Structure 1
Amino acid sequence: MPNPAQIPIALTIAGSDSGGGAGIQADLKAFSALGVYGASVITALTAQNTREVRAIHRVPVPFIIDQLATVFDDLRVDVVKTGMLGDADVVIAVANFLRQYPQTKLVVDPVMLSKSGDALLKAEAVDALVHQLIPLASIITPNLPEAAVILGCDEPKNLVEMERMARDLKALGPKAVLLKGGHLEDEDQSPDIYFDGEQCITLNTKRINTQNTHGTGCTLGSAIAAMLAKGELPYQAVEQAKNYISNAIAAADTLAVGSGHGPVHHFHALWSK
């Protein structure tokens, strides 16, 4: 019999989006679209669609750890990506577990709000995120509102302030930072800042006029995780992931899903063939 190929494996630790556009569902779609096997640990169930988060049912911490232990007991996990963790107990438990696997790369997307504005991380969990999980990260991917909460400061108004913020985030201990500038008031560009302690690079992307951006942050973080799982260096992983999410947003209007903020098109490169 032929020897099977050793496919890269990425694990997402996040909440479930019943509407399928964000969270665990978005992560698994991005992993699959980019040729990576996806595993999942669910931290919360959300009753969610493109318009709202109607209810959240949080998964007990011992069962989250059971999921983690079961996956790691059997699968060779190359990269872990975290999304919605919900509260401090979950953040601390996940961080404590991952410390046992320092060889596994970690992408931290500090999910705090849904696209509809619903809170997905309790305020008291921010301290645990800053001191327990972020220092373990290979890269963190906050947007501007999330970064402002993490640092306890105002949101930046321009690229100079964004660069200063990226450096402050790096000082918290992650190996690299991708500060997402989609909330910056720029009609034409959506700039991100990448900083790893040596390189500080501005990545400009033309802003795409669409309301269908549900799951954008989750998808970008999981695309970075997928590229890292495939052996790319962090900056190259970010470049390729940004290209993927830009194309997924550009193709979002070809889908007719829901009546609110619809999902990006994770399989834009596959379904068009």
Structure 2
Amino acid sequence: MEQRPVCLSVGGSDSCAGAGVQADLRVFNTLGVQGCSATTALTAQNPKEILHIQASSIPQFQAELEAITSYYDVACIKTGMLYDQDHVEALIPFISNTPFIVDPVLIASSGQLLFEQTTAKTSYQKLLQHSMLWTPNLQEAAYFLSQKNQDPIEIASALVLAYQTPVLLKGGHGQGNILRDIFCDTYGNIEIFEHTKQNISPLNLHGTGCRLASAIAAYYAMDRNLLSAIEQAHNWLQSDL
């Protein structure tokens, strides 16, 4: 039997399984890749609120990463909630030689902080030096740029200029009936992915950013073409909502 490509999800555990590593593993399985996970934190949450967060110990986190990367030939890694600078520092040695996608999970839909913000920019700058793509939404982009630019293309270009990493700027929080995600590479090339916004329940809305990034990782693991992976992931997510 042919071995399926292996994808690794690094992030928080979501007790309702709508986001986090549970959602990523579900996406990986649906799209035909083998999923593994390394957990940064346990969360007690539902689509409305987070009740409690407990960080995984660094030795446990490192042991999970070691167990996976020493056995599997990981084709792509997707990171989500990384919790703090210590977990980022522990992660970097395990992923520097593997294609990976950063979904910078900083703030929950409920408004609760999911990363210690005084060190977020420094921590993510170190991480992004090694990544092939990151997928901030408009709120996260405003934090990383320390500005409120209204034009998504200008925001995407500014993110690439500041962090020297290709970006997929997620536009789901934007105004209007059209969802526009903006891809910009390090040469300034722009691709726009447009879909009509769907009227979906909060239950399905929860974790859409996680699922998009993990779908990109899965499609990339299968065909090693980033733009194709982004397009396929968008089409799949729209059909899954």
Q: TM-score range by the shorter chain?
A: over 0.9
Unaligned runs of 5+ in 1: 250-273
Considering only aligned residues, what root-mean-square deviation do their CA atoms show, in Å?
Answer: 1.3
Q: 1:130·1:150 contact (CA, 8 Å) conserved in 2? A: no
Q: Identify which of 146, 160, 163 aligns with 1:170.
A: 160
Distance 2:28 2:113 in 1: 26
Q: 1:91·1:125 contact (CA, 8 Å) conserved in 2? A: no
Q: 2:10·2:39 contact (CA, 8 Å) conserved in 1? A: yes
Task: Specify the SS of the correspondent of 1:78.
Answer: strand
Instruction: For residues 183-213 of structure 1, give each alpha carbon's deviation from its aligned partner in whole angstroms, at most 9, with x where no partner exists.
Output: 1111x10111011134201111100112330
Indicate whether 1:9 and 2:6 are aligned: yes
Q: Structure 2: which amino acid aligns with 1:205?
A: H
Partner of 1:234: 226
Cα distance, 1:136 vs structure 2: 1.0
Q: 1:87·1:124 contact (CA, 8 Å) conserved in 2? A: no
Q: Which range moves more in the overlay, 127-136 or 11-20?
A: 127-136
Cα distance, 1:165 vs structure 2: 1.5
Distance 2:120 2:141 in 1: 11
Distance 2:41 2:119 in 1: 15
Instruction: For residues 74-99 of structure 1, give each alpha carbon's deviation from its aligned partner in whole angstroms, at most 9, with x where no partner exists.
Output: 11100010000011111122123322
Q: 1:91·1:128 contact (CA, 8 Å) conserved in 2? A: no
Distance 1:182 1:6 in 2: 35
Q: 1:28·1:38 contact (CA, 8 Å) conserved in 2? A: yes
Q: TM-score, normalised on structure 2?
A: 0.94
Cα distance, 1:153 vs structure 2: 1.4
Q: Could you list the structure 1 runs, at least 4 aligned residues long, displaced by more than 6 angstroms after superposition.
A: none
Distance 1:165 1:63 in 2: 37
Q: 1:88·1:124 contact (CA, 8 Å) conserved in 2? A: no
Instruction: For residues 138-166 of structure 1, give each alpha carbon's deviation from its aligned partner in whole angstroms, at most 9, with x where no partner exists.
Output: 11000001111112112x43xxx211221
Task: Specify the SS of the correspondent of 1:81.
Answer: strand
Q: TM-score, normalised on structure 1?
A: 0.84
Q: Identify which of 24, 29, 33 aligns with 1:27.
A: 24
Q: 1:10·1:79 contact (CA, 8 Å) conserved in 2? A: yes
Partner of 1:37: 34
Distance 1:73 1:231 in 2: 23
Partner of 1:185: 175
Cα distance, 1:168 vs structure 2: 1.9
Distance 1:7 1:224 in 2: 16
Partner of 1:255: none
Partner of 2:193: 203
Residue-pair matches, total: 237
Q: 1:180·1:192 contact (CA, 8 Å) conserved in 2? A: yes
Partner of 1:266: none
Q: Structure 1: which amino acid aligns with 2:41?
A: A
Task: Specify the SS of the correspondent of 2:152.
Answer: helix
Q: Structure 2: which amino acid aligns with 1:79?
A: C
Q: 1:107·1:221 contact (CA, 8 Å) conserved in 2? A: yes
Distance 2:222 2:123 in 1: 27
Partner of 2:114: 120
Partner of 2:69: 72
